[in-house]
Amino acid sequence: MHTIEITPLTATIGAEIRGVDLASAPDDPSTMATIEGALYEHLVLFFRDQHLTDAQHVRFAGCFGPFEHHAFAKSHPDFVDMTVLDQITPQNDGGNSWHSDSSFMEQPALGSVLRAVQLPPLGGDTCWASMYAAFDALSPRMQSMLDGLTALHDIIVPLEKAIAGGHSVSANLEEIRRAWPAMEHPVVRRHPVTGRPALYVNNNFTTRILGITKSESDVLLPYLLQHVQRPDFQVRFRWAPGSVAFWDNRVTQHYAVPDYSGHRRIMHRVTLTGERPA
Q: What is the dihedral of CA 265, 128, 7, 18, to 10 degrees?
A: -30
Which amino acids are annotated catalytic? 99, 101, 254, 269
For residue 223, the SS3 value is helix
Rounded Cα distance between 43 and 181, Å, is 29
Rounded Cα distance between 38 and 207, Å, is 33
Rounded Cα distance between 208 and 138, Å, is 19
| Sign of the dihedral defined by the CA atoms of residues 57, 46, 35, 272, in that order | negative
Residue 214: CB atoms within 10 A of its CB come to: 9
